[in-house]
Amino acid sequence: MSNALPLSRRRFVMGSAALAGLAGAVPAWAKTTSHGSAAKGFDTLTGPEIDLAIAASDFLVNGRTGHAVTINGSVPAPLIRLKEGQNVRLRVTNHLDEDTSIHWHGLIVPFQMDGVPGVSFPGIKPHSTFTYEFPVRQAGTYWYHSHSGLQEQLGHYGPIVIDPADADPVAHDREHVLVLSDWSFLHPHTIFTRLKQEGGFFNRQKLTLADRLSGKNQHLSPADREMFARMRMDPTDISDVTAAAYDFLINGHSPAENWTGLFRPGERVRLRIINAAAQTTFNLRIPGLPMIVVATDGINVRPVETDEFQIGNAETYDVIVQPGDQPYSIVAEAIDRSGMGVATLAPRAGMRAAVPPLRERPTLDMTDMGMSMDHSAAPATDGAVDHAAMGHGGDAPTANPPAMDHGKMDMRDASSVDFAVGPAVDMIAPMPMDRTGHPGVGLDDVGHRVLTYRDLVSLKPRSDTRTPTRMVEIHLTGNMERFMWSLDGERLSENPEPYRFARNERVRMRLVNDTMMTHPMHLHGHFWELVNGQGIHQPLKHTVRVLPGGYVDLDLTADAPGDWAFHCHLLYHMHAGMMRIVKIRPMEGEGA
């Protein structure tokens, strides 16, 4: 490994002409073969002052060139490495002919520095510079990306690693950063238009008449197939955009380009895994190599060993692996199994392990419609919340629900919700369940260990031990056929009333998924406590996957006054309106 000093700030002050010369480049940490970033500061942007330049560049994938929006000329963007407790000033220059922005995903910053145009700041105008400045109050694995238009799909994303002020509780000899993403040569506005024209445009795995006649791919009973048909829903509609339009990348490299992270046999290797994809949830595994999960969304958890986990858009996981003297394939398989990103861990350059074939694509079932008969999916309560005191004593499903006649069930029963159910809402889950104990769509019968949210236990007990004083129930709604997405039936363009919290209020948020897609939900400026049965050791998350037909309970301490974005992190869902503003009222005398 090189012992070069950290790259100086001046080396990254580039004009658009210089950026054009770097078209298609990737940062050295993401080059085809990487020794890792064990030497702190090597090949990173670091220090109290950092310059970032956003511009249009070409990007090369599998020998084909496409248009990208790059930061300092690369996709992914440079690795930013900071230290807990420092102050940082980031000067961002926009060389584009349109507005841009950077959101520091998962970082606790003043709301004016959060980087969401129209919510927390006006955006960065073309050919201008905006300076972000904030104290670094945390440690862990995070990332940064555009919150302007659909630029994130075009390559505007990069990793952040923040080293702890004290000794790192996670012992490791080497680390690699793995940025998962989806790349398309179609312009993102073209993708969005085609989704609006036909919601299943990119789904090439639909059930066919030949399947029915041959009996192949028939995972549903005739009655359940009839229910899906009556609802005009497709049990194979798991991802809006698939490998029909996407190349799945790891550190900017396709499977054929084979990014390789090197190690010495016997080392404890830390993998910092970031899902920076615009629209793809991944199932990640390393065949033949167990993973010990040690952190999620930047926050340490009690080590738990697994063979696979589902990682939603914008989530991060840190894992420890101890590879032997052989290569291993890192497999990031798309949730719909239409394609995969592949990279390699190897003791020597040039080695490559066998790549497993794509597994059979999953199908949705009645549980994903919110009509669960899975009695094991009982609520993961923490034993400390008085639901009756919050006025929701009877809304948690019982361990032994009554028998249901699916044929008579109203899937758009407006009486069960307190918002209008119009054409933008094609389904209301009649019996949503707490699905934090489920590994994710398609992973319930893969023959090996798969992580669930209930396996996550915070290393530290929660700092706020108060019982929530009220519950705010929020429904994730949409019409999949028309590609309309919303929260509580309203899109952001309809100027809905914000969700309002008092400063330092302790509140339980219940996110109910009334759709048949997994939604990774993100609240800016805060961490939730995921209610998963772990009591005072509930894990902290800034992004949470809400499975189809299910709900997730999240405890929030609203300790950051300001206006904050709350949205689905599937980029095209957010663009279609699945976003709302959260307003936290400051204490008297603190100002707006």
pTM, entire model: 0.88
Name, in order, each residue with C-beta under 8 angstroms of 233's C-beta and a sequence gap of 6 or more: 364, 369, 426, 427, 480, 481, 516
Q: pLDDT tens digit string along 451-473?
A: 999 999 999 999 999 999 999 99
Cβ burial 40-70 (10 Å sphere, 16+ → b, else e): eebbbbbbeebbbbbbbbebbbeeeebebbb
Q: Determine the Cα–Cα distance for residues 48 and 86; give it in Å rounded to an integer.
A: 7
Q: Determine the Cα–Cα distance for residues 438 and 455; give it in Å rounded to an integer.
A: 10
Q: Determine the Cα–Cα distance for residues 412 and 351; give it in Å rounded to an integer.
A: 54
* The predicted structure's pLDDT at residue 20: 38
Q: Determine the Cα–Cα distance for residues 430 and 551; give it in Å rounded to an integer.
A: 12
Using alpha carbons only, what angle is made at residue 228 by residues 227 and 232, rounded to the nearest 5 degrees? Answer: 120
- Token output for 502: 């008092």
- Asked if the model's pLDDT at residue 400 lies above 50, the reply is no
Q: pLDDT tens digit string along 487-506?
A: 999 999 999 999 999 999 99
Query: Which of the residue ranges 156-160, 226-230, 465-469 would you say has the lowest mean pLDDT?
Result: 226-230
Share of the chain above pLDDT 90, in %: 73
* The predicted structure's pLDDT at residue 414: 77
For the chain, what is the mean pLDDT? Answer: 87
Residue that is written with structure tokens 């990348």 in the block: 249
pLDDT band at 172 (very low <50, low <70, confident <90, very high): very high
Q: Mean per-residue pLDDT for 194-209?
A: 78
Q: Characterize the bridge pairing of strands 87-94 and 174-183.
A: unpaired
Q: Mean per-residue pLDDT for 183-189?
A: 98
Report whether 150 contacts 189 (CB < 8 A).
yes
pLDDT band at 199 (very low <50, low <70, confident <90, very high): confident
- Asked if the model's pLDDT at residue 14 lies above 50, the reply is no
Q: pLDDT tens digit string along 202-220?
A: 887 765 555 555 555 555 5
Report whether 103 contacts 146 (CB < 8 A).
yes
- Asked if the model's pLDDT at residue 336 lies above 50, the reply is yes
Residue that is written with structure tokens 């805060």 in the block: 526
* C-beta neighbour count of 135 within 10 angstroms: 13
* The predicted structure's pLDDT at residue 216: 58
Q: pLDDT tens digit string along 339-352?
A: 999 999 999 999 99
* C-beta neighbour count of 465 within 10 angstroms: 9
Using alpha carbons, select from 350, 322, 319 the residue that is nearest to residue 263: 322
Residue that is written with structure tokens 């549903």 in the block: 220
* The predicted structure's pLDDT at residue 81: 97
Using alpha carbons only, what angle is made at residue 123 by residues 118 and 126, rounded to the nearest 5 degrees? Answer: 140
Question: DSSP label at 211?
Answer: H
Using alpha carbons only, what angle is made at residue 561 by residues 121 and 48, rounded to the nearest 5 degrees? Answer: 60
3-state secondary structure 331-399: EEEECCCCCEEEEEEECCCCCCCCCCCCCCCCCCCHHHHCECCCCCCCCCCCCCCCCHHHCCCCCCCCC
* The predicted structure's pLDDT at residue 372: 66
- Token output for 375: 């009695």
Q: pLDDT tens digit string along 244-297?
A: 999 999 999 999 999 999 999 999 999 999 999 999 999 999 999 999 999 999
Using alpha carbons only, what angle is made at residue 192 by residues 189 and 196, rounded to the nearest 5 degrees? Answer: 135
